[in-house]
Structure 1
Amino acid sequence: MSEPKMEAKTVEGSARYRPRLEDDPLVRGLGRYAADVPLPGQAQAYFVRSPHAFADIRSIDTAAAKAAPGVVGVFTAADMDGIGNVSQHPPLAGRGGQKLIVPHRPALAGTTVRHVGEAVAVVIAETLAAAQDAAELVTVEYEERTPVVDLREAVREGAVQVWPEAPGNIAVDWPGMAADPEANAKEVDRIIASAAHVARVVVVHPRIMVQSMESRGATASYDPANDSYFLRCCSQSARSLRDGLAPIVGVPAQRLRVVTEDVGGAFGLKTGPYPEYLAILAAARKIGRPVHWMSNRAEAFLSDNHARDTFAEVELALDERGKFLALRARHFANMGAYIGAVGANIQTMNLTRCLPGMYDIARVDMNVRCVFTNTTPTAPYRGA
């Protein structure tokens, strides 16, 4: 008996189906990732990072590193002229119309470090080994300060303040999406007080770190003829990364070309600007040569955006038959030392849209407090 003949099916959607083209070169090892396309004459970058969670920088001595074999240049915050705030976040209004607080995040820390792994200098050399050796010769004098790294400790009265412009370490106190949050909260209070049943739970979601197969990396160059930049980078959107980086560098978007080819995993990690990208763009301008940097696995744990690190107190009101009547959540989200790419939006609007799920709940009262701590910034990981 012959086997039935299987007919190929055409998958159709809003556009004509197109077959996948990327598989063949990838499975044969012919992908083009961030480190696979060196530019002629490129130098290698290695970052000097803070061992402290919170400290003032008293001095940085780079003389010995500059004299080391193979070193092209050593740069600190003083050399990052023209580089603006790395933290770029869409506007987000909190309670009473208060805006999300977005402190200045430098390409290289110059006065204070606010998390372990924050970059304070970058060494540019002919080889990566030479850059690493010279980085050990950079001497940084720190005056340590008491850090706050726990989310719940950060919101206690009298806690260490990460930023003077963020009292109580609150980046934003977000009252939810109701048209009148205060009236909505009172109605939810009334429903919970009179409900036949109330379920209460405290949910702690620990901090996690993304570990993509390809670590973050980029190659930067500068063309003085037309004051333009080029960045080959493993990103999730070359265009959005360009649009985010251009105002930080201080040039129109058309004078910054960002190229992304194959990417070895991202999951939200590679969505927005990072300090290292700005530092190597500035370094390329300073030395007049392309500069390449790839994060190693150890520094990825310290400098890549983390995710989650939240806790929530949640109450669900039910009637005698178990019908959901109202949901109240008091959610606290650790932003880290700086505001990461759309990190506050994820913890506010995304959470509020997702929390009720498919259930018909007449009233939902959400209150989210985004909190600063002396930890690595958090941002989206798989959309959350």
Structure 2
Amino acid sequence: MSYKAPRGTTDILPEDAKKWQWVEETIKQVCNKFHYEEIRTPVFEHTEVFQRGVGNTTDIVQKEMYTFEDRGGRSITLRPEGTAPVVRSFVEHKLHGLANQPTKLYYFAEMFRYERPQKGRMRQLNQFGVEVLGSADPAVDAEVIDLAMTCYQEMGLTSLKLVINSLGDKESRENHRQALIAHFTPHKHELCSDCQTRLQNNPLRVLDCKQDRDHPAMQTAPSILDYLNEESEAYFEQVKDYLDNIGIPYEIDKNLVRGLDYYNHTAFEIMSEAEGFGAITTLAGGGRYNGLVEELGGPNTPGIGFAMGLERLLMALEAENQVIPVDRSLEAYVVAVDEQAQKEAVMLVSKLRKHGVQADKDYLGRKMKGQFKAADRYAAKYVLIIGENELEEQTITVKEMSTGEQATVAKDQIIDVMKEKCVGGREHE
């Protein structure tokens, strides 16, 4: 039998893992500048967290969740998205009671969705996300968008488009909901089966349908912007003003609704306009979700957040020909000529590592020539040679591979010398 990774999943091999590490580290640095802190939640939750938090009428809950019953008869779901688990944790640990508010959080997490796999969209996917809980200030909406845009810009992406919309408050949404039902009902039987169901349960989702996007009724559908009450309209104007003030260009898309039930007021997506990126251009999406904390048993607490797919981010970097600065070289490779030298090599490698030097050695019993070839394959910056003369004279020969220059270093000084060359060199980069 040939064993392969399950459909919709992939292995991230060491060469690519370095790219992921660079992406994640770059994002963490941005989060630190914005004063956001990391949170980690379980990979699975009680199913009710997503049913209540995401919404029973969404495609995620109805079609895409990996749900199973555990041995105790409890319904468990592998997390399909990150907001509901973070809000559940916020409520459970009473983070709303902390003195410093709002609570600003970020996460890196694997998500699981049962959908048709395609390039950049897997059944096991990786997301970075941000959640801000405890503030209804429209300036926070602008800050969250700014953080997302900054992440992309820090990695060199330029072909970006930000689209925004307002979904309004509860009153505005209800008025818009009734207008959508009245608009689409005469065309109900022309729509896909999903939209026929959505029309009664969640008509806003009809606007997000990929199958019926070219139906004439879509082009004439009533816009939420025409149903915003005075308060919602003022809120949206403030968000746009803040974006203007900090210099973030945007377009307004009246049909942008997002796919989850908990959104209200600000909704946004960031898209790639890079040539050859693909038909699905969305890189990140999010919005405000006042009311979600209450749905999961907490106090009245406003919130806003977004999630970006890391697979799609890497695709965008490739589409814009951005070279990820990954250093695949090894700092020090220790070459030993015989059994006694091997014992010294083991001790030397261990000491180098403990003092911050990246080091390795041969473990396959290669001859000296083979060890030098291995050092070349690892792109070692320095080769430390322990031969008969070195054993006798208590020295180490240090060869700088880029220049071929060699120096003899006393055994008791080798750690200090290599720390200066490697650790000191990193600090001055």
> What is the TM-score of this pair, normalised by structure 1?
0.24
Which structure has more RCO (C-alpha within 8 Å, separation ≥ 6)? 1
Select the structure that is richer in strand: 1
Larger radius of gyration: 2
Select the structure that is richer in helix: 2
